[in-house]
Structure 1
């Protein structure tokens, strides 16, 4: 399995992601420029990653311009053929703008940029401490979409406290139903706001991100909803 990390003007987490995947997890990684289109080196067992940052300066809306990049046309086709795609923070915003994931990411409820460690939990119910940094990370969708996400087990991470309790106080941005990450119905496209790549090295004092990335990218077909 190898990874392609797409770099947009304004990406600032691409190097973090490349290092985490290559050095901390030991995968082959290829850097991809947003103006290119060629994904012929990747098959459906590989993964394309859209990293965090401020693509195109977040002008208009976060991810709204990046979704028209030539590479995104190829990423969309790759996903439609079953290829794995992961979007972190700005990458999650781009996936929603491109229609590869449902819903949108809105301005944080407190109208401020949030930068802190948060806890999230997935199917195993074990809280993981993961860094978070965004100004527009409040996940929103209409009630029908939210109910479908629940019914289809597409909510794969929720904000929780250190004890694993899903509470309003543990929600850093006002995301509906404490949603921190979702997948598409085919479970090959995933987006999340927290940054697991920033928690993959002992030197950072936190390696919880390693498990998050491994669970998502290796066992993505078995993902179920966080309780």
Structure 2
């Protein structure tokens, strides 16, 4: 399966995402923001970084890149699309996901390994996980606070569209880890659209795909530093089904 990874000006994690696709068993395809084609990929990843320097708003300018017209059309047609960190911000700006991302509540850049609880395993990107499973992957952002109006939050909860939620505890992270690191409403770390093909999350699964190079201390989860790989194997399994 061919999984495209889009590079925008200021993208930082595109190579990591391409590598994660390869390690999961897929064929990684580099996509350029200025191209008006998805080159016949089966799924798309919008990776993390600071596209266009986060000027105006994080993800606001990238939303108008030529490739995003194709991504929006493909997503509405059912193609799996994953937005990681800045990619999540772009998905919100493109109205493929509801809500918005604003500055962290403490107004500082955040970088740490973060425990997450898997809330929804029915999306194209989460089928390899168990409901309620706690995983641990890196989190690094400055505009990571998810916000939405109460009606939208109620809909997300009622429809089971919260995919990942920030969590904490003695078995899930070092002492002092607060459950919600950036002030996100309802402790939301990731959400999906109604169809389940579009997922956005702030933490970085592409940085936890190989043992020895991801979180691997006690409490990291059950996958010994490779908790993030499940998102990429999930989409390949979804496409093959």
Asked whether the two chains share a fold, i.e. TM above 0.5, the reply is yes
Aligned to 1:5: 5
The CA RMSD measured in Å over matched residues stands at 1.8
- Report the equivalent of 2:17: 17
- Structure 1 position 39, deviation (Å): 2.2
1:66 deviates by 0.3
Task: Name the CA distance, whole Å, in 2 between partners of 1:182 and 1:111.
Answer: 23
User: Displacement of 1:217 after TM fit?
Assistant: 5.9
Map Cα deviations across residues 125-176 of structure 1 (whole Å, 9 max, x no partner).
12111100000000000000000001111101000114469xx921110000
Q: 1:38 to 1:212 in 2, by over 3 A?
A: closer
For 1:217 and 1:148, locate their aligned partners in 2 and report how far apart those are by CA, in whole Å.
28
2:182 maps to 1:173? yes
Kept in 2, the 8 Å contact 1:105–1:139? The answer is: yes
SS in 2 for 1:72: helix
Deviation at 1:211, TM superposition (A): 2.2
What is the aligned partner in structure 1 of residue 51 from structure 2? 55
Matches within 5 A, 1:65-214: 65-123=61-119, 124-162=131-169, 163=171, 169-205=178-214, 206-214=225-233
Structure 1 residue 189 displacement after superposition: 0.7
Note if contact 1:6-1:31 (Cα within 8 Å) is conserved in structure 2.
yes
Q: Relative to structure 2, which stretch is displaced further, 60-69 or 117-126?
A: 117-126
**In 1, are the aligned partners of 2:25 and 2:233 still within 8 Å (CA)?**
no
Distance 1:178 1:213, change over 3 A: farther
| Change in CA separation of 1:53 and 1:128 when aligned onto 2, cut-off 3 Å | same
The structural deviation recorded for 1:202 is 1.5
Q: Secondary structure at the match of 2:151?
A: helix
Question: How many angstroms apart in 1 are the aligned matches of 2:236 and 2:142?
Answer: 26
After TM superposition, the runs of 4+ consecutive aligned structure 1 residues lying more than 6 A away are none
Unaligned runs of 5+ in 1: 221-227
CA offset digits 1:185-207 (Å, max 9, x no partner): 11111100000000001130411
Q: What is residue 225 of structure 1 aligned with on the other side? A: none
TM-score when scaled to structure 1? Answer: 0.89
Residue 25 of structure 2 is aligned to residue 26 of structure 1: yes
| Alpha-carbon distance in structure 1 between the residues aligned to 2:151 and 2:60 | 24
The 1-side partners of 2:91 and 2:237 are apart by: 20
Query: In proportion to residue count, which structure has more helix?
Result: 1
Superposed CA deviations along residues 4-57 of structure 1, whole A, max 9, x for unmatched, are 0000000000001011111x2121011000000112513xxx211100000011
Q: Indicate the residue corresponding to 2:217 in structure 1.
A: none
Any gaps of 5 or more consecutive residues in structure 2? 120-130, 215-224
Contact 1:126 1:164 survives alignment (8 Å): no
Task: Give the secondary-structure state (helix, strand or coil) at the position aligned to 1:208.
Answer: coil
User: Contact 1:86/1:191 (CA < 8 Å) preserved in 2?
Assistant: yes
Shift of the 66–161 alpha-carbon distance from structure 1 to 2, 3 Å rule, reads same
